[in-house]
Structure 1
Amino acid sequence: MTNASDILVERLLAWGVDTIFGLPGDGINGVFESLRKQKDRLRFIHVRHEESAAFMACAYAKFTGKLGVCISTSGPGGIHLLNGLYDAKMDHAPVLAITGLQHSDLIGTFTQQDVALDKLFMDVAVYNERIMSGAHMESVADLAIRTALASRGVAHITIPVDVQVQEIKKGRSERNPIHHSSSVPAYFDQLPARIELEHAADILNRGKKIAILAGQGALHATEELEELAETLGAPIIKALLGKAAVPDDSPYTTGGIGLLGTEPSQDAIEGCDTFLMVGTSFPYIEFLPEPGSVKCVQIDIDPQRISLRHPADVGLVGDAKNTIRALLPLLEKHDKGFLEKAQKAKAEWQKLMEERGTRPDKPMKPQVVGWELGKRVPANAIVTSDSGTITTWWARYVPALRGQKHSCSGNLATMACGLPYAIAAAVAYPDRPVYCIIGDGGLSMLLGELITVAAYKLNIRIIVIKNNTLGQIKWEQMVFLGNPEYACDLFPADFVMIARGAGIEAIQIEDPATCGAQLDSVIGRPGPVLIEAVVDEFTPPMPAKIKASQAVKLAEALVRGEPNRMKIALTNAHDKIRELV
């Protein structure tokens, strides 16, 4: 006899789901039995923490474009999913979360693990329902999957333990006729109206110094972006989630924007008279042109995002790739003076990056690890980053090559996502090498997933930038508030020994003179490897252009009793003198 859980698994398969991440538990046993019966068709990835499962579902959706699915038991299992689900919500990744619930006749009676997960998930989910009976399962499962895919958000269904195994004779009640199909309308075919395209073209044709800001929504529009940049004589600046939208060796891009961006990108933003945003709602408005100082055209598939960060004179609601294709025939060929100026500035910036990345100083600079790694990541790789100072080293020193995939936690900017992201990438693309760039703070939060890497023999290179401190937080305390650092030191764990204990090959790098050779010795081997790079904790991830207010706050922090003020001052002064010389 078919039960409600069997129906759920059948609907997952009908929608093309082939992978699910999670942990079992008595609150979800009914669904796991149905998964066991379909284990040859639906792969279950057993993780060590439910937060990791949600991160993996988010990353799986980001890297494949498919639905990411995670599953947990009732109570604490479901609660643990939340951080990864908020990551999916804020970066628009389609994810389905399946959770267990206590027996339906015990809900609300203070029984064990009596957590109303459907109420808890109200903010994170675009679709959020409790399954009331076996006959209720099919239509709710279909609507949850359809909504997650169509809205590019999180859907959640929670199922009482007794309902999970409730037998179903007909599949659905007479009051609930079949009203679904396993497909989503092709929203990516959506185009703006002709009059809006003409209005946008008029603004762009009048512009003399045009800058393009590309984000996650333009990842599939690489060739179109480059043709647009060629036509408009416009440099392409990339938001972090759009790092792979245009390869970093393209003559049209100046690299990233913001605190971890590049100086030529910021110069282009500050010097433009026309601003074209494509598939991005970059949140740090202080790095965008002053409102009213430039003309602005924005392309975004989500109408909510139009004018969200910068006032748009014309908002083109549509898919980036198709909208650019429709716009190109309407555009006039522009002079390349502004682009050529940006290209020269980028070349100078690259020289500075090389100078910082090849320093022989000891302790080893984190830039050295980024520089040496960036030269060795192959063109078919997938690269994930965690959040913290290491995000800067990834953004600036590990170039995105044509065909690569890069991602991180964007708007949530949560720590601990880097390794689960890498696991999802390696599961989705077993024939491609995966590189995980993570700090010692982020890795230690979900350290158990090293066992997951070993258990599945995943092809991941884990590069741990170890400075024994929560570096980003330390510098934020000083630069944003002018206070000395506090509570940022980390106990110096031996990640090489920990990795080896989990069955992963591992090495330590601490000498800049041997960094490249040591990387060569391990990254080409099959299977997982962990590389612990011990670096200088006093090297800050400084923005490309330091504001006077930031310099003042740092000085205040040093004066107020920063415990490492002499080392920080000497390190910064020494680095700046080297750059000037």
Structure 2
Amino acid sequence: MSTVAEMTVDALATYGVTSAWGVVGDALNPITDAIRRDERIEWIGVRHEEVAAFAAGAQAQLTGRLGLCMGTVGPGSIHLLNGLYDAKKSHAPVLAICGQVPTEEIGSSFFQEVNNDVLFSDVAVFAQTVTSANQMPQLLEQAVNAAMAHQGVAVLTIPGDVGGLELGKDARAPQFAPAPAESAAPQTQLAGAAKVLNEAETVTLLVGQGAREARAEVLQLADRLQAPMVLTLKAKEGLEEDNQFQVGQTGLIGNPGAAKALDDADVIFLVGTDFPYRDWYPEGKTVIQLDMRAEHIGRRTQVQHALVGHVCPTLQALLPELTGGRSDKHLHKALKSYSSWVDRQHRLTDPDHDRSLLGKIRSIADNPDERIRPEAVAAALNRHAASDAIFTSDTGMSTVWLSRFITLSGRRRLLGSYNLGSMANAMPQSLGAQALDRDRQVIACCGDGGLMMLLGDLRTAVTYDLPATFVVFNNGRLGMVKLEQEQGGLPEFGTQLDNPVIAAVATAMGLKGLRVTSPDDLDEAVKEALATRAPVLLEVVTNPDEVSLPPKPTVGEAWGFAIAKSKEIIESR
């Protein structure tokens, strides 16, 4: 015979769960004790439950398997919410096991009592409380099946007095549902899309993470249509390297080549993407959208032709219906614009850039203190990182530099809070990634604001021997907020951060701490950090005034920068 807790842990371990993230305490004690006695699941005790949820979500995104995090009664479970919302918006299957007050006290406003079923009702595809051993394993099966089927969050609340209850003699082992098979869009949808594509003079592809497993088919599609391929940030992984059709990203982190490719197209074909920024979809275009989720069709821009199915089998069925032989003029115009922009950007990565005549002129305005340009940091990481490195990035400027200067070549992977847009995600996601494989290189590109928010869990890397590399772009700012304020013509306010020497803090916490303040020392410091097979933090003091211009800056934005800068100079004087 076994208890509810023992059955739950055994079933999850058998299902393939290898890590459990959380903070121990009261109602979770039966569960964590069962984990202690089962060597198949590693318990990783974090300092903040938000880190647990981010780490579990990272593991789910990297493996496609169920991630597991835990929070105890009341506040412990509440702390999971932000990381769980990130998992929801990233379509990551995560099970959160939450504690609850004793069953006889439920509904009495007992100490720390929170109604978890209500609390998690928006973030979770399944949220139920176990109040009897007889409800198991059915509720566990429903929770796991819902998380996997919907690629989302399931919350199972287990009161402390229920976790230790023994199951009946006839209790069966849990049986989880298999994954559904991939399917193509129906022929009637394919015929309509093929007709439009064959008749179009110019086509541009906007390709998202839903196409990452269909690389060969997407490249054939671009070749057949002679179409430039705009990649979302998540699609860089698997589709960026050796792709003669790709023109980088669109949106605020994008470039003029991608913007031109979209603007000049007669037809825009959205392939496996739910790119959310409406302002970056050009108007007056014929739009085809291919997505496995019907609810995604048309929610960002008006779609004339929908293809509801998985990318790989749908493109395999569509390609034979497409004619070739069209002009490559549209493709080459976009590629030329993109290539020119890339060349201009990479000049900034040269340590001697600000010593050249043009560099000196530019730096008077945007780098008077001769700080390290963040572009150079990202470029150095790209040069020296392993071909199978996993990168995570904090929301904001860290993501901008990663998207522009780090190529996801080989088997490199990428994680970030790219749908929720949370701060402080890079470090906890890197912990989750590193726990999957301690021999694989994991690099967290952290903003100083983000890292300081959950700083305590740097120690988790030391405690559990997670040899991640934490690279901190320390510009003493909430950089993206500063940019937003200046775009609107406002002087920066409230964005300056009074940071300690972060590398020294890391050293005090047991990591190897490195700090770089000169461009001449950057390359060697990056190589040293990445060669260290122990938790290491590299703090790089970067230029706070580095401007990331959008692909199509407007007159209003330019005027806003001018007004903001004049106000800042006047006030600083």
Give the CA deviation at 1:408: 0.7
1:506 partner letter: G
Q: Secondary structure at the match of 1:113?
A: coil
- Is the contact made by 1:214 and 1:245 (CA closer than 8 Å) also made in structure 2? no
- Confirm whether residue 492 of structure 1 aligns to residue 499 of structure 2: yes
Residue 563 of structure 1 deviates from its aligned partner by 5.8
SS in 2 for 1:286: helix
Instruction: Give the corresponding residue for 2:568.
Output: 562
In the TM superposition, what whole-angstrom CA distance separates every residue of 1:189-237 from its partner, at most 9, and x where no partner exists?
1211112112111111112221111112122222222221111111111
Q: Which residue of 2 aligns with 1:155?
A: 154
Where does residue 128 of structure 2 map in the other structure?
129
Provide the C-alpha distance between the structure 2 equivalents of 1:257 and 1:456, rounded to a whole number of angstroms. 39
Within-5 A mapping of 1:109-120:
109-120=108-119
Distance 2:408 2:154 in 1: 31
Q: Distance in 2 between matches of 1:510 and 1:32?
A: 44
CA distance in 2, matches of 1:441, 1:348: 33
Task: Point out where structure 2 has 5 or more consecutive residues left out of the alignment.
Answer: 355-362, 364-369
CA distance in 1, matches of 2:314, 2:568: 52
Aligned 8 A contact 1:100 1:160 in 2: yes
Aligned with residue 310 of structure 1, among 301, 323, 334: 301
The structure 2 residue matched to 1:183, chosen from 160, 177, 182, is 177
Looking at structure 1, the residues matched to 8 and 569 of structure 2 have their Cα atoms a distance apart, in angstroms, of 57
User: Which of 333, 349, 359 is the equivalent residue of 1:357?
Assistant: 349
Under a length normalisation based on structure 2, what TM-score does the superposition of the two structures give?
0.93
CA contact (8 A) 1:126 1:148 kept: yes
Contact kept? 1:15, 1:183, Cα under 8 Å: no
1:447 counterpart residue number: 455
Measured against aligned partners, the alpha-carbon deviations of 1:78-97 in whole angstroms (never above 9, x if no partner) come to 00000000001111111111
2:518 aligned residue (511, 533, 548): 511
CA gap 1:405/1:320 in 2 versus in 1, 3 angstroms: same
Q: For residue 383 of structure 1, what is the amino acid of its counterpart? A: F
Deviation at residue 248 of structure 1 after TM alignment: 4.4
1:538 to 520, 540, 545: 545
CA distance in 2, matches of 1:248, 1:506: 32
Q: Which residue of 2 aligns with 1:573?
A: none
Q: Distance in 2 between matches of 1:353 and 1:555?
A: 22
Residue from 202, 208, 219 that aligns with 1:215 = 208
Q: Hey, what's the Cα distance between the residues in 2 that align with 1:379 and 1:168?
A: 49
In the TM superposition, residue 171 of structure 1 has moved relative to its aligned partner by 5.4
Aligned partner of 2:291 in structure 1 is 300
Q: For residue 321 of structure 2, what is the amino acid of its counterpart?
A: L
Q: Report the 3-state secondary structure (helix = DSSP H, G, I; strand = E; otherwise coil) of the residue aligned with 2:27.
A: helix
CA–CA distance in structure 2, aligned partners of residues 565 and 345 of structure 1: 39
Give yes or no for contact 1:422–1:435 (8 Å, CA) kept in 2: yes
| 1:162, distance to aligned residue in structure 2 (A) | 0.8
Name 1:574's counterpart in structure 2: none
Residue of structure 1 equivalent to 2:328: 336
Query: Distance between the aligned counterparts of 1:43 and 1:180, measured in 2?
Result: 21
- 1:578 is matched with none
CA distance in structure 2 between the aligned counterparts of 1:521 and 1:182, rounded to whole angstroms: 46
State the Cα RMSD in Å: 1.8
- The corresponding residue for 1:525 is 532
Cα distance in structure 1, aligned partners of 2:347 and 2:72 = 51
* Aligned position for 1:378: 386
| Structural mapping, 1:283-294, within 5 Å | 283-290=276-283, 293-294=284-285
Matches of 1:251 and 1:565, distance apart in 2 = 49
Structure 1 residues 388 and 198: CA distance shift in structure 2, 3 A: same
Paired position in structure 2 for 1:175: none
Distance in 1, matches of 2:400 and 2:570, equals 22
Cα distance in 2 for partners of 1:28, 1:478 equals 48
- Which SS does the other structure have where 1:167 is aligned? coil
Provide the C-alpha distance between the structure 1 equivalents of 2:113 and 2:154, rounded to a whole number of angstroms: 21
Q: After the TM superposition, which residues 414-453 of structure 1 pair with which residues of structure 2 at under 5 Å, given as runs?
A: 414-453=422-461
Indicate which of 322, 330, 339 corresponds to 2:313.
Answer: 322
The answer as to 2:28 corresponding to 1:22 is no
Secondary structure (helix, strand or coil) at the match of 2:484 reads helix
1:471 matched to 2:479: yes
Query: Is the partner of 1:543 in helix, strand or coil?
Result: coil
For 1:134 and 1:384, locate their aligned partners in 2 and report how far apart those are by CA, in whole Å: 40
1:274 paired to 2:303? no
Amino acid in the other structure paired with 1:452: T
Letter in 1 for 2:175: S
Shift of 1:525: 2.9
Measure, in 1, the Cα distance between the counterparts of 2:122 and 2:203: 38
Q: Distance in 2 between matches of 1:501 and 1:393?
A: 29
Q: 1:545 to 1:510 in 2, by over 3 A?
A: farther
Distance 2:217 2:64 in 1: 20
**1:550-579: CA deviations, max 9, x gaps?**
2233334345x4367789xxxxxxxxxxxx
Give the letter for the 2:12 counterpart.
L
Cα distance in 1, alignment partners of residues 497 and 349 from structure 2 = 25
On the 8 A contact 1:364/1:511 being kept in 2, the answer is: yes
**Aligned residue type for 1:53:** A
Number of residue pairs matched? Answer: 556
For residues 236 and 5 of structure 2, the distance between their equivalents in structure 1, rounded to whole angstroms, comes to 40
2:359 aligns with none
Bigger drift between 122-131 and 229-238 goes to 229-238
- SS of 1:69's partner is strand
> For structure 1, which runs of at least 5 residues remain unmatched after alignment?
173-177, 568-581
Judge conservation of contact 2:137–2:173 (CA < 8 Å) in 1.
no
Check the 8 A contact 2:229/2:245 in 1, yes or no.
yes
> Structure 2 counterpart of 1:395, which letter?
S
- In the other structure, the counterpart of 1:11 is 11
- Counterpart for residue 195 of structure 2: 202
- Counterparts of 1:53-92 in structure 2 under 5 Å? 53-92=52-91
Following the alignment from structure 1 to structure 2, what is the Cα–Cα distance between the partners of residues 249 and 263? 21
Instruction: Name the SS for the 2:534 alignment partner.
Output: coil
Paired position in structure 2 for 1:570: none
| Structure 1 letter corresponding to 2:282 | P
